[in-house]
Chains A and B, each alone.
Chain A
Amino acid sequence: MDAFTKLTGVAAPMPMANVDTDKIIPARFLKTIKRTGLGVHLFDTLRYDAEGKERPEFVLNQGPYRKAEILIAHENFGCGSSREHAPWALLDFGIRCVIAPDFADIFHNNVFKNGILPIRLSREICDQLMEDAKQGDNARITIDLAEQVVVRPNGEKIPFEIDPFRKHLLLNGLDDIGQTLQHAPSIDSYESKQKAEKSWMPGISV
């Protein structure tokens, strides 16, 4: 996973609530055994018509937003399916940060594992950033994870909250399996205890 430290880029305004993971990447594109290559299908139904032609009204089909690295949306972003293909598609397109008033739980977990930073800010601030984002190339937004601030094009700094453990993993690009394996002795002793106390629990074999 790539570390996330500081990012300055174009932000795409997407003033929609309940953007579900079927919208981010429809199920028909989940038949892959790889993590890469999904960016072309990101928001497929919103982005292309039935003939596969780009819909000019969709934000990511417009000038500077084709290179957007930040996405700004409304409430409950990423609801629905647990598919990690959603963050993979965002990342493959080039999105490294999503800002919204709140996120669905599983999606929120999944983005962190892929070096994407989800930032929760109030609806009011999201709407201000949405206005900034509408100026496209002329108004780049900076995200500074170490400082925990979003910097608006006018220089105003907006602080955000993040779980310190997740911040640490993101800043250093750490794989959390490696972190967990540091606790292997505790896992071993939990398993021994469970074997004794829950000896009724059968193993699975076919």
Chain B
Amino acid sequence: MAETKPRTLLDKVWDAHVVEQLPDGTCVLYIDRHLVHEVTSPQAFEGLRLAGRRVRRPDATIAVADHNIPTMGRANGIQEEDSRIQVETLERNVAEFGVPYFPILSAQQGIVHIIGPEQGISLPGMTIVCGDSHTSTHGAMGSLAFGIGTSEVEHVLATQTLLQKPAKNMLVKVEGTLGAGCTAKDIVLAIIGKIGTAGGTGHVIEFAGSAIRALDMAGRMTVCNMSIEAGARAGMIAPDQTTFDYVRGKPYAPKGEALDRAIAWWSTLPADPGAHYDTVVELDAAAIAPMVTWGTNPEAVVPVTATVPNPADEQDEAKRAQLARMVEYMGLTPGQKITDLKIDVVFIGSCTNGRIEDVRAAAAVAKGRKVATGVRAMIVPGSGIVKQQAEEEGLDKILIEAGFEWREPGCSMCLGMNPDKLTPGQRCASTSNRNFEGRQGPGGRTHLVSPAMAAAAAVSGHLADVRELA
């Protein structure tokens, strides 16, 4: 009997989607699901139109507007003209090409990476792409999901495939039990702090270990979401009973006997014993504290109990200059305690932390407390479904009573394409994924944290250790 080489989760999903391998190793890779939004698709549809091409698989495609829609007063339409034109263009394109679309005023609308899993559109074992780097989120289902540019969006619309070379396998193993007040967000920030923003370049990361297995699907999505911040092409977590229980009953998921057949296949996807990983990284969950980014990339991260690093301690000259620039941009003093940093704005939401579990975590901290004077705190649910669920649970009331703004779903202040932006110099505790200069608005200063830590900052008026609020 021929021996088969043990394969990783990535290898198995990859192999199942190779349409053809070209002589130089490039693969024509079949794409099961294509998520489309208003910002990175107009030029792709225009390309199809100019070439007289159609969308090959409208039934494998879903479109939604999320990046630049307002999160207040949406029924009155979009006031910003260029944003409105982009959304209207998407609506015209989906109508012309027959692509399924969740309209802005429907409950299914939301951030593309929240609604994929929520609707059962993103399923284990699939290949999933979207013109957005945080497509890695869907890897939490046990799928291979990655961001692409607009030319590739057009390529997938036209051919339902991509030309790809296999990525390297990286295993990030997180063993042990997380301490109180620590979450999936803290795990992934700790991982990025360890391997760096380019640590995953050329790799797909598989997250494994008992601490990952113990996460619910929302937490797994948070971890996979930020794989890209470590430079990885994608992040994946092997499907298990938690995954199957999550999928069951989702609107677009298979049902009954079809679901049984799907689960039978999904159960074969976890890595074989002895499968080879090009790179292995291990972390101890118990050693992870609530994390806060202090600089302008996600690798500039420290435990909340730490102080602002001193660039002078860095030996490499170029790195020292970069750290000094971060300290300056962020308006910090080396040696300053993280918990002494006063904040102006709190943003809870985004594809990283906009799920119902995140709203619950924020509400648990906010309950019976008040947002500190001078702090603007906003919470933006990831989808209409999340918003409805939160309102059914009365979470909106808790948050509003505490002084939070309760808004309508969208990407919002994660990237400030809609009216939700920081003004120059404002300091923000944010549950989003990027703390780049100007990301949340020109001159804005972003500290990435978990939803519980963001809520703790809101009620304290400064970055705070959520464990001390309990």
Contacts and interface: CB of A to CB of B under 8 A. Distances in A.
B163 interface: yes
Interface in A1-24: 15-18, 20, 22-23
A30 B83 CA distance: 9
Nearest to B108: A206
A20 B297 contact: yes
Nearest to B47: A177
A132 B234 CA distance: 37
A198 interface: yes
A179 B163 contact: yes
Contact of B40 (A79, A84, A201): A84
Given A33-B85, A187-B19, A80 B438 contact: no
A30 B46 CA distance: 16
A22 B399 CA distance: 32
Given A33-B85, A105-B231, A206 B198 contact: no
A165 to B, nearest CB: 5
A201 B32 contact: yes
A154 interface: no
Contacts of A106: 133, 146-149, 228, 233
A139 to B, nearest CB: 22
A31 B86 contact: yes
Contacts of B20: 183, 186
Given A33-B89, A104-B231, A203 B19 contact: no
A74 to B, nearest CB: 7
B417 interface: yes
Interface string A108-146: 011001100000000000000000000000000000000
A26 B86 CA distance: 17
A185 B231 CA distance: 35
B30 interface: yes
B267 to A, nearest CB: 13
- Give the contact-size bracket for chain B: 35 or more
B231 A180 contact: no
Contact of B198 (A76, A179, A191, A198): A76
B82 interface: yes
A179 B42 CA distance: 22
Contact of A102 (B159, B201, B439): B201
Interface stretch (B7-15, B21-29, B331-339): B21-29
A198 B436 contact: no
A15 B149 contact: no
A180 B161 contact: yes
B438 A180 contact: no
B252 interface: yes
Interface of A: 15-18, 20, 22-23, 26-28, 30-35, 45, 50, 74-76, 79-84, 87, 102, 104-106, 109-110, 113-114, 163-165, 176-177, 179-181, 183-184, 186-187, 190-191, 194, 198-206
Given A113-B152, A165-B163, 16 more contacts: A20-B436, A23-B437, A31-B82, A32-B42, A34-B42, A50-B424, A74-B318, A76-B197, A80-B228, A82-B131, A83-B40, A105-B231, A165-B22, A180-B159, A201-B262, A204-B61
